[in-house]
Amino acid sequence: MKYEKPTINRIDFQMSSKYGSPLKTQKIRTNIDGVKVNELVKEFGSPLFVFSQRTMEEKYNKLHNAFSSRYPNIKFGWSYKTNYLNEICNIFHRMGSCAEVVSEFEYEKARALGVEGKDIIYNGPYKSKESLRIAVKEGAKIHIDHLFEINDLEDIADELGVKIPVAIRVNMDTGIYPQWSRFGFNYESQEAYEAAKRIKDGGKLYMTGLHSHIGTFMLDANAYRLETIKLMQLKNKIEQELGFDIEYIDIGGGFASKNRLKGIYQSPEVVVPTVDDYAEAITGAIYEMQQNKKLPTLYLETGRHLIDEAGFLLTSVWGYKRFPDGKKGYILDAGVNLLYTAAWYNFNIELDSRYDGINEPSTLNGPLCMNIDVIEENIMLPALNRGSVLTISPVGAYNYTQSMQFIRYRPAVVLIDNNSNAHLIREGDDLSAVNYKEKKIKS
């Protein structure tokens, strides 16, 4: 392990000022893994996405240990859509994750990164026939979403003269509402079992797996226990009645990160289950339901939990104004174009140094000429200057992949490795990136 310098944080007493509001402790972050945020902005520009390899590896090892210490056959599939920057995927692949993709584009991305077909889980409601043909030839794990896909795969089986191994996606009631019932076949209505029967009757495909993904940011470990019990029940029934050998169950993703969901007032430390809670719920249910000696391989498609806390967005103050209601409004160089998830989460917002003066209620707005461009509606901040750098976290999950080239260019991305070296892993866009593929009308 690398030596880390200890840091001393000043703790302010909660005294009332003459305006009555308490002097809240300023949250300060001068560096990420030992690299100064001000230096990062100077070198790579602002705004800037920054990822910590150290945090990614810590999260991965902790989650992997929680499962592998309880269960012998564990496999992680990195959820591409959560963050498919190449170097992010590469780190998880090097640590042993296969790839979990939900589109033809993500499938191609995994292959381009050198992931073999057999190490790709192909999910999603829209899989073109051509991409299914390739996935079959390359031996990918195909998780069927609906009946049309069964037909498509049967056509491909005829065409190629092979019998194709498949899994089906199952949706179910796990006590989480609204229920995600759009994807796959329903458990309670027997639709999932009927789909398995349909596959058996067709005689061209055979089942090797069962998959479910019950939602994202799941704060209830017991939902996974219910999910696993239902998948195992279905597995036992399919094996007994249809004679398929279900080699694996895939319980999907959805483990929460230490982010603060709007509307949940307790801190993430209180409400987010531990990895041991999740692991105990899932593996305990498999042991309980397993009927023969051969334990299925357990796949996890964890995205958010592994990457969210490893991601930071550095943004600089461009100016401020006083709104008619007296509130201070800061204009930042990053907005909802880069923080799609700002609608759901109250992020940590940290200052690059200590600022003098009392905190006052402030709004953080982005640079877009759009009324909705609000990062934080009400935050107590001291008087910041033009150029003050704020670190927004955790933003590693979904924000980069959902970021938009809307009004402004998308920014650069930096990865800080385990030796505290900062690497540019994606350049910011420029006009050529935006105009790429546009066509001129010939007159």
Ligand X SMILES: *Cc1c(COP(=O)(O)O)cnc(C)c1O
DSSP type of residue 119: G
User: Of residues 52, 103, 131, 302, which one binds ligand X by CB under 6 A?
Assistant: 302
- Contact range with ligand X by CB under 6 A, out of 248-256, 285-293, 339-347, 433-441: 248-256
- Which residues on neighbouring strands pair with residue 250, listed in sequence order? 211, 299
Could you say whether residue 254 binds ligand X (CB under 6 A)?
yes
In angstroms, what is the minimal distance from the CB of 251 to ligand X? 9
Q: Is the dihedral of CA 200, 203, 206, 212 positive or negative?
A: negative
Taking CA atoms, 21 is separated from 359, 364, 380, in Å, by 8, 19, 9
Burial class of residue 339, CB neighbours in 10 A (0-12, 13-18, 19+): buried
Give which of 47, 75, 53, 52 is closest to 63, Cα–Cα.
75
- Contact range with ligand X by CB under 6 A, out of 174-182, 278-286, 299-307, 425-433: 299-307
User: Of residues 47, 117, 253, 366, which one binds ligand X by CB under 6 A?
Assistant: 253
In angstroms, what is the minimal distance from the CB of 211 to ligand X? 7
3-class secondary-structure state, position 71? coil
Q: What are phi and psi of 335, to 5 degrees?
A: -135, -155
> What stretches of 243-273 show up as alpha helix (H) in DSSP?
268-271
Q: Is the dihedral of CA 67, 267, 338, 212 positive or negative?
A: positive
Show Cβ contacts of residue 423 under 8 Å, excluding neighbours closer than 6 positions. Answer: 87, 414, 415, 416, 417
- Contact range with ligand X by CB under 6 A, out of 232-240, 253-261, 368-376, 422-430: 253-261
- Contact range with ligand X by CB under 6 A, out of 129-137, 230-238, 303-311, 419-427: 303-311
Could you say whether residue 100 binds ligand X (CB under 6 A)?
yes
User: Of residues 209, 273, 303, 394, which one binds ligand X by CB under 6 A?
Assistant: 303
In angstroms, what is the minimal distance from the CB of 224 to ligand X? 12
Could you say whether residue 394 binds ligand X (CB under 6 A)?
no
In angstroms, what is the minimal distance from the CB of 341 to ligand X? 11
- Contact range with ligand X by CB under 6 A, out of 29-37, 38-46, 296-304, 384-392: 296-304
Number of residues that bind ligand X (CB under 6 A): 18
Could you say whether residue 102 binds ligand X (CB under 6 A)?
yes
In angstroms, what is the minimal distance from the CB of 300 to ligand X? 9
Torsion of CA 415, 418, 420, 422, to 10 degrees: -20
> Which pairing describes strands 185-186 and 205-211: parallel, antiparallel, or unpaired?
unpaired
User: Both tokens of residue 292?
Assistant: 């023969």
Among positions 271-290, residues that touch ligand X (CB under 6 A) are: none
3-class secondary-structure state, position 359? coil
In angstroms, what is the minimal distance from the CB of 304 to ligand X? 4
User: Of residues 184, 252, 268, 396, which one binds ligand X by CB under 6 A?
Assistant: 252
Residue the block writes with tokens 């000696």: 293
Distance CA 95, CA 130 (A): 31
In angstroms, what is the minimal distance from the CB of 230 to ligand X? 17
In angstroms, what is the minimal distance from the CB of 217 to ligand X? 6
Determine if the peptide bond prior to 394 is cis (ω within 30°).
Answer: yes
In angstroms, what is the minimal distance from the CB of 74 to ligand X? 16
Q: Which is nearer to ligand X, 41 or 170 (CB)?
A: 170
H or E element in which residue 121 lies? strand 120-122
- Contact range with ligand X by CB under 6 A, out of 53-61, 90-98, 258-266, 301-309: 301-309
Among positions 51-90, residues that touch ligand X (CB under 6 A) are: 79, 81-82
DSSP E strand boundaries for 271-402:
297-300, 311-322, 328-332, 348-351, 360-365, 374-381, 389-393
What would the x/- binding string for ligand X be over residues 179 to 218, using CB under 6 A? ----------------------------------x--x--
Point out which residues bind ligand X (CB under 6 A): 79, 81-82, 100, 102, 123, 213, 216, 252-255, 301-305, 397
